[in-house]
Amino acid sequence: MASFQYYSLLGFGEYCRENLGFSGSCVIEDWLVIYRPKQVLHIRIISGMRPLTRETSPGIEEEIAQAFSNVNNLTGWNYVAIQLRAYFVDLPYIGEQARESMVRDIGKWCPHHQLLFTMFGGGGGGVENLPFPKHRVEFEVDV
């Protein structure tokens, strides 16, 4: 696996990198990746549904944890080297809880590298619903 160098803007960008584990750009050998929507290599869409039972946890923290586990079971987090986009229904109402869960689980599943990370949510033209009625979170990852 190639080595990665992560960079962030001064101020808030550095705060995010040092305290939350997010970066603004990444250099992989002779290739520079700067976060820009729709500039992706390969995408996998993963929900927080339990694969065997097709059930979704009633709590957002459990649903987020299951989505992280689902990515790990499909590709392993070592291969999610670049970017994670998380789409949330009702983000204005669960934002702080969702953000804390995401930061905790990124630290758990990606202890040796930092992701470019973005959360999208409902309200004001955001995510109103996901493909299955009980889903509140879906991940889009570059592998």
Domain count, the chain: 1
Who's near 7: CB < 8 A, 6+ residues apart?
A: 23, 24, 25, 26, 27
Helices of type H across 3-126: 12-15, 60-74, 91-109
Confidence (pLDDT) at 61: 94
Q: Highest mean pLDDT range out of 3-7, 69-73, 96-100? A: 96-100
pTM metric for this prediction: 0.69
Give the tens place of pLDDT for each residue, 20-39: 777 766 766 555 555 544 44
Confidence (pLDDT) at 1: 54
Q: Which two tokens stand for residue 102?
A: 């995401």
* E strand or H helix that includes residue 121: strand 116-121
Backbone angles phi, psi at 42, to 5 degrees: -150, 135
Confidence (pLDDT) at 37: 44
What domain range includes position 34?
A: 4-142
Indicate the pLDDT class of residue 80, thresholds 50, 70 and 90.
Answer: low
Confidence (pLDDT) at 29: 56
- Describe the crossing of helices 91-109 and 60-74 by its angle, rounded to 10 degrees: 40
* CATH code at position 51: 3.30.1330.40
